[in-house]
Amino acid sequence: MCGIMGYVGSGETVSIILDGLEKLEYRGYDSVGLATVERGRIKTQKTVGRLAALRKMLAGNGKRGGAGIGHTRWATHGRPSERNAHPHLDCNQRLAVVHNGIIENYQELREQLQKKGHIFISETDTEVVAHLIEDYYKGDLLAAVRRILGQLKGSYALAVLSADEPGKIVVARKSSPLVIGLGTGENYIASDITALLDKTRDLFILDDNELAEVTPAAVRLTKADGTEVTKEVFRVEWDAVTAEKNGYEDFMRKEIHEQPQALQETLAGRVDWEKGTVVFPELKIGRDDLSAIRRIHLVACGTAYHAGVVGKYIFERLLRLPVEVDLASEYRYRQAIIGPDVLTIVISQSGETADTLAALRLSQAKGSRVLGITNVIGSSVAREADEVILTQAGPEIAVASTKAYTTQLLSLYLLGIYFAQELGTLEEALRQQLLTEVKLLPHLLEKTLATETKIKEFAEDFKAKENIFFIGRGLDYPSSMEGALKLKEISYINAQAYAAGELKHGTLALIEEGVPVFALATQPDLYEKMLSNIKEVKAREATVVALVSAGDYKTEKSVDYALYIPKTHPFFTPILAVVPLQLFAYHVAKVRGCDVDKPRNLAKSVTVE
C-alpha cells in the first residue's frame, strides 16, 4: 500500500523524506516520487521501482530547508509508471499532491475538469485533486484544500505543497491514516507512525474530515467546515518494530483488525451506487464472451482455495453455470477437461504460488481464458493472466492469510454479481438487495471484531487440546475449512473440518467427552439440520463452540460457548464468520506461546512445488 512522508524545517529535506519512505518500504510499492520547492518552483523526481534508485538520482541534493513531500505508490488506478507515480501536479506546476486511498468519483471529476481546459498527464485518480485545488487556489492553500474536500468521494490521506507558499504543507484525511510529527522548529507528516519514530515521538493523529496546515513553527488543525481543532499531543512509547505493527503485538492481529478498511478499499469504485450496478472497467471480457462460457474452474491453494470453494457457491447460485473448484496442485495433474468454453479463475494473494501459476499456464495452453484475482500488482499472476482483478488488502505480512481472504471473497461476490448482471441471470430485486448488504459489510466486519473479548476469555480452555473439529453446512462448510487451516498452521493443534452431514459417516466415532467441536450455524435454511448435528455431538459430551447470527439465542442453550456475528444476507456470512475463526486461532496460538506471524515450516509465498 502507498506511503506518505513530508517535512518542513531547516534540515536536509530530501534525505529526511527518503529516510522516512524507507521505513515504509515493508508495506510494498511499485514506484516512488518526491516534490520540493526550489527557487520558487515545484521540483519533482520520480521513478518506477525501488527507493534506492530515487536515492541515487537525488544523490548530492543536499537541499536544506523548506518543505517537501514524498510517496511510495502501490498502483490502483493506472499501471506502475513514472507518469502515474506521485506527486501529481496541476496544469501550471505550482501545486504538488501525494495521496493514499481511492477517489471513487475521479472519472466524473476528471471529465468536468477537462471540459474546463485542465490537461491530465496520468491515469491516476489522484491527479484530479491537484487540478481541483488549482481551480480554487487564491494564495491560501489551506482554504483551497478545504474547499475541494466536499467534492471528493472515497478515501484519502492528502499532502499538498504550493510553490507560492514554500514553507508549508497542507494535509487532509478521510478513512486513510495520516499523522503529524512535532519537532522543534521543524515538523513532519506521514501516513504511518513508523516513518517518524527516529525523528520524533510527539504526534498529532489526524481524525477523519480534519485538515492541518503544517509549517516549521506551527501546526494549525481545523475541521473540514473550517472550525479550529485543539488536540492533545500523542506520545509514542513503542519501539520501531512495534510501530511497524501500529501498536499491535503481531502482524496477524493487526491484519485481522485491518479487514474493515481492506473491504472498504476493495469495494471502492466497484459499485455505481446511483445505477445500482457493479462495475469492473479493467475487464475486457464482454457479454458475448461470457455467453460462450459453459463452465467455470476456480483454482487456488490453501486459504485462497477456501475462497474458491465459497466462489463455487456464489457462481452456481448467481449464474446457474457448473463450477468446479480445485486445489492447484491437483488440477495441474488430474487431466481436467479444459477448453475455450471454460473460464478459469485463479486466486492467489501473492500471485507467485508455483502450483497456481502452473494451473494458470496449463489452462491458457488448453485455450481457456484465465482471470486472476491477486493482491500483488506486478506479480506473475497479475502479469500472465488474461484478465486481472486486484484485491486491495494492502501488504499481508503474517504467514497466516486473513485480510487477503476476506478481500478475495468480496471480489468473488462482486464478480459473481457483475457476471450475472451481464448475463441477465440475476433478478433485479435480488441484485439491489445484495448491493445494499454489500455496502454494509465493512461496518459489519468491524462489529464482528467485538467477538475478540469473549474469544480471549475462553482461548485458555483450548490450550491443551490435541484435536479440534470444525463443522458447518452450505456456506458454513468452506468457513469451517478455513477455521481449521488457521488453527492448524499457527497453533499446531490438529484441526479437521467436516461438512456436518458427514459426521455420521465416520467422524462421529472420534467424538467423546471434552473433544472440542466448533459448529457454524449461520445459514437459516440449514439451521435446524445444524442444530441436530450440534445435539449429536453434545450427546457424546463434546465441548461445543457455536457460531451463529445475532438474534439466534436458541443455540446457546445447547452449547458451551456461543459467538455471534451481525445479521447480514445469508449469502455473505462467510465474510463475517471467518473473523471469529481467525481470532480463535490467534488467541489459542498465543496462549500456547506460538510465534503467530512466522509459524514453523511455512513461508509466506510458496514459489516452489
The question of whether 604 is a catalytic residue gets the answer yes
**Between 76 and 348, whose beta carbon lies closer to ligand M6R?**
348
Q: Which 501-520 residues touch ligand M6R, going by CB under 6 A?
A: none
3-state secondary structure of 585: helix
Contact assessment for residue 552 and residue 453, using Cβ atoms and an 8 Å cutoff: no
Contact indicator for 271, 105 with CB cutoff of 8 Å: no
Between residues 176 and 353, which has the closer beta carbon with respect to ligand M6R? Answer: 353
340 half-sphere exposure, CB direction, 13 A CA radius: 3
| 176: Cβ contacts below 8 Å, ≥ 6 apart | 100, 101, 155, 156, 157, 191
Q: Which residues of 400-417 are buried (b: 16+ CB within 10 A; e: fewer)?
A: bbbbbbbbbbbbbbbbbb
Instruction: Specify the residue, 95 or 397, whose C-beta has the smaller distance to ligand M6R.
Output: 397
Distance of closest approach, residue 478 Cβ to ligand M6R, in angstroms = 13
Smallest gap from residue 252 Cβ to ligand M6R (A): 9
Nearest CB to ligand M6R, comparing residues 349 and 407: 349
Query: Any contact of residue 399 with ligand M6R (CB under 6 A)?
Result: yes
348 part of the interface to ligand M6R, by CB under 6 A: yes
Q: How far is 459 from 124, CA to CA, in rounded Å?
A: 46
Select the residue interacting with ligand M6R from 124, 266, 353, 407 (CB under 6 A).
353
In whole angstroms, the minimum distance from the beta carbon of 329 to ligand M6R comes to 10
- Tracing cell 459499485 back to the chain, one arrives at 271
Name the one range near ligand M6R by CB under 6 A: 37-45, 314-322, 395-403, 491-499: 395-403
Can you state the angle between helices 476-491 and 302-319, rounded to 10 degrees? Answer: 170
Considering only 100, 259, 303, 491, the residue that binds ligand M6R (CB under 6 A) is: 303
The reply to whether 302 sits near ligand M6R by the rule CB under 6 A is yes
Question: Within positions 586 to 605, which residues make up the interface with ligand M6R, using CB under 6 A?
Answer: 605
Residue 273 or residue 333: which is nearer to ligand M6R going by CB? 333
- Angle subtended at Cα 529 by Cα 526 and Cα 533, rounded to the nearest 5 degrees: 130
* Among 142, 301, 445, 579, contact with ligand M6R (rule: CB under 6 A): 301
Half-sphere exposure of 206 (CA within 13 A, CB side): 36
Q: Is 585 in the site for ligand M6R (CB under 6 A)?
A: no
Question: Any contact of residue 350 with ligand M6R (CB under 6 A)?
Answer: yes
Q: Grid coordinates in use for 274?
A: 446511483
Contact 112, 146 (CB under 8 A): no
Q: Is 259 in the site for ligand M6R (CB under 6 A)?
A: no
Residue closer to ligand M6R (CB basis): 35 or 301: 301
Binding of ligand M6R at residue 407 (CB under 6 A)? no
Cα 228 to Cα 186: distance, rounded to the nearest angstrom: 21
CB of 309 to ligand M6R, least distance (A): 13
Q: In the window 447-486, what residues touch ligand M6R (CB under 6 A)?
A: 485
Task: Give the one residue of 187, 349, 411, 555 binding ligand M6R; rule: CB under 6 A.
Answer: 349
Cβ neighbours for 548, distance < 8 A, ≥ 6 positions apart = 521, 522, 555, 556, 562, 563, 564, 565
**Cβ atoms of 519 and 544 closer than 8 Å:** yes
- 175 pairs with which residues across the strands? 156
Nearest distance in Å: CB 183, ligand M6R: 40
Q: Reduced to 3 states, what is the DSSP secondary structure of residue 533?
A: helix
User: How many chain residues interact with ligand M6R (CB under 6 A)?
Assistant: 16
Which one is catalytic: 231, 456, 538, 604? 604
Of the residues 2, 46, 168, 254, which is catalytic?
A: 2
Kindly tell me which residue out of 214, 271, 304, 578 binds ligand M6R, with binding defined by CB under 6 A. 304
Burial code of 363-381, b = ≥16 C-beta within 10 A, e = fewer?
A: bbeeebbbbbbbbbbebbb
**Minimum distance between the CB of residue 602 and ligand M6R, rounded to whole angstroms?**
6
Task: Give the residue with the Cβ less far from ligand M6R, 133 or 487.
Answer: 487
Options 251-259, 298-306, 471-479, 512-520: segment touching ligand M6R (CB under 6 A): 298-306
Ranges of H-type helices in 96-245: 106-115, 127-136, 141-149, 240-244
Query: Annotated catalytic sites, by residue?
Result: 2, 604
- Residues within the interface to ligand M6R (CB under 6 A): 301-304, 348-350, 353, 356, 399-401, 485, 489, 605-606
